[in-house]
Structure 1
Amino acid sequence: MSNSILRLEDITMQFGGVVAVDNLSLEVNQNEIVSLIGPNGAGKTTAFNVVTGVYAPTNGAIYFKDNLITSNYPKGSMKKLYAGQNNGKFNTRIEKTPDQITKLGVARTFQNIRLFKDLTAFENVLIAKHMRAKANFLSATLCLNHKEEHTMREETLELLNILGLTDVKDEKASSLPYGQQRHLEIARALATKPELLLLDEPAAGMNPQETGELTAFIHDIRSKFNLTVFMIEHHMDLVMEISDRIYVLDFGKLIASGIPEEVQNNQRVIDAYLGVQEDGEE
């Protein structure tokens, strides 16, 4: 078995006539921190949505721990509209829902924080714990799951303690400082016991001090929870400091990959971020 935990093979995501992700292939190995970067509109979040089952890809396949979890190909009206590559390469349709993918061991956070704002920090994490609860509707209704519920509450308190959120466990999520809300969202994702954690712009809206603290925080949880981290981020200082490897998208296409130093000095990456000066312009 390979060291790969996530592998995308020729993924294309097309909306009508617009190709948002074009023939994307990449691999994330166990215990790595891998970043997916690119200008706004490059297709990064769309790629995350395909991995987590929010979208079924128009074409391509996804493997988690060498097991095929997602596969699709152009069909119906898309057969004529399809503008991506590798039409005809795939002939299997497997489309798992986000909750099914979460149960496999994949969790994510979002660019815009999506906490239950009127619930406490404790309740936000406890809800995520219920994703792996064994109780069914009947046993929960008859209160036959009290032992499991007690265990989940203990595990929630332990997780909040590990992540330094014990002092705010009874505070409403909406009342927490922005940085703590980010940490709480990550705690909620960790409550599902993932092996692969997807972070969508975790430093968005943070000041330099908070970004520095987040860098240490991600390193810490990777070690403590034996995690693999796949991250979208625009803060290049954070990306270059924390990443083992980096993939770069531009207009849905992969234009570069490698270790931070290689990507940082790649002319195609520089052009994508800064723009290429047209002939005749001054």
Structure 2
Amino acid sequence: MHENVKGESMLRLENVTMQFGGVVSVNNLSMEVNKGEIVSLIGPNGAGKTTAFNVITGVYAPTNGAVYFKGEKIIENYPKGKMRKLYASENYGKYKNTIEKTPDQITKLGVARTFQNIRLFKELSVFENVLIAKHMRQRANLFSATFMINYAEEKKNREDCMRLLEILGLADLKDEVASSLPYGKQRRLEIARALATSPELLLLDEPAAGMNPQETMELTQFIRRIKDDFKLTVFLIEHHMNLVMDISDRIYVIDFGKEIATGIPAEIQNNPRVIEAYLGVSGDE
């Protein structure tokens, strides 16, 4: 654990900038997550972490830069229109193509995510929440669904969902309405729904938000287990430093949208720039 070993690239951001008008939210950011790693992205509130996730998952088209998944370029953009004059970051003119994918297309490639604010279908059951995600990979169309030609596929989807709930310890809650679950179970359900899309890369946006210490400890063990059981690569945003330092192979730190440090947990803990970004003072003060 915590060894900085170069492996097969799963995700790579290359000079990604996300600018809203005159505000640069992500500033010339380059990062790489290798297959099988757990990598954390940390930084103060407003540092641009969730914006980076939104670029990776197709919610935003970056103002400039490129994103690669498993070595293939899936996103690329460059400043256009008024942004050509407003652009305030680096590498202007380096990128000349526009490659865009919608969030569902990126999910089908093998990238799944959870959100900082839980986004379950609150009035549906636990089982229904997972089944809806499973349908993302369903081959049925309107015709086959109308005439029940897809019966075998639907049956397998339901069996797979039940098996997933059993693995994640949610089977006994399958008929419960999602909104009735305790907060920690809702977080687990959101992860289960992401896993139902059969991802290779799982993005977790502040999974420990709102959890007490016991729930956070259980979540840490849970993330490790699903990473191994489902052969996942995990990229997470988190403010809970105990979880980050305990679980991460490597850590990227950003402030005002720009990388200020990267390394294994021991290196990050003692980095003066990281201490200054979080505490507002230098390490000498």
Indicate whether the TM-score tops 0.5. yes
Equivalent residue, structure 2, for 1:88: 93
Choose the corresponding residue for 1:220, options 221, 225, 231.
225
> What does the per-residue CA deviation read over 1:85-113, in whole Å, with 9 as the maximum and x for residues that have no partner?
10000111101000000000000000000
Q: CA deviation at 1:276?
A: 2.7
Unaligned runs of 5+ in 2: 1-6
Which amino acid is the alignment partner of residue 75 of structure 2?
A: T
Equivalent residue, structure 1, for 2:104: 99
Aligned counterparts of 1:267 and 1:167: Cα–Cα separation in 2? 48
Equivalent residue, structure 1, for 2:156: 151
Equivalent residue, structure 1, for 2:25: 20
Q: CA deviation at 1:144?
A: 1.2
Aligned counterparts of 1:101 and 1:145: Cα–Cα separation in 2? 25
Identity of aligned residues (%): 74
Equivalent residue, structure 1, for 2:256: 251
Which amino acid is the alignment partner of residue 187 of structure 2?
A: R
Figure out how many residues of one structure are paired with residues of the other and give that number.
277
Aligned counterparts of 1:34 and 1:52: Cα–Cα separation in 2? 17
Equivalent residue, structure 1, for 2:3: none
> What does the per-residue CA deviation read over 1:38-96, in whole Å, with 9 as the maximum and x for residues that have no partner?
00000000000000000000000000000000000001111011111100001111010
Equivalent residue, structure 1, for 2:238: 233
Aligned counterparts of 1:205 and 1:276: Cα–Cα separation in 2? 27
The aligned runs of 1:36-115 (5 Å cut-off) are 36-115=41-120
Which amino acid is the alignment partner of residue 262 of structure 1?
A: E
> SS of 1:158's equivalent?
helix
> What does the per-residue CA deviation read over 1:141-173, in whole Å, with 9 as the maximum and x for residues that have no partner?
222111100000000000000000001001000
Q: CA deviation at 1:274?
A: 0.2
Aligned counterparts of 1:4 and 1:271: Cα–Cα separation in 2? 31
Aligned counterparts of 2:143 and 2:235: Cα–Cα separation in 1? 38
> SS of 1:124's equivalent?
helix
Aligned counterparts of 1:75 and 1:117: Cα–Cα separation in 2? 39
Which amino acid is the alignment partner of residue 46 of structure 2?
A: G
Aligned counterparts of 1:270 and 1:142: Cα–Cα separation in 2? 62
Structure 1 position 211 matched with structure 2 position 216: yes
Choose the corresponding residue for 1:197, options 202, 210, 225.
202
Aligned counterparts of 2:105 and 2:58: Cα–Cα separation in 1? 9
> SS of 1:246's equivalent?
strand
Equivalent residue, structure 1, for 2:187: 182
Q: CA deviation at 1:195?
A: 0.1
Unaligned runs of 5+ in 1: none
> SS of 1:8's equivalent?
strand
Aligned counterparts of 2:68 and 2:141: Cα–Cα separation in 1? 30
Aligned counterparts of 2:259 and 2:226: Cα–Cα separation in 1? 28
Equivalent residue, structure 2, for 1:129: 134
Aligned counterparts of 2:104 and 2:122: Cα–Cα separation in 1? 21
Equivalent residue, structure 1, for 2:4: none
Which amino acid is the alignment partner of residue 20 of structure 1?
A: S
Q: CA deviation at 1:218?
A: 0.1
Aligned counterparts of 1:130 and 1:212: Cα–Cα separation in 2? 32
Q: How well do the aligned residues superpose, as a CA RMSD in angstroms?
A: 0.9
How does the TM-score come out when normalised to structure 1?
0.97
Which amino acid is the alignment partner of residue 47 of structure 2?
A: A
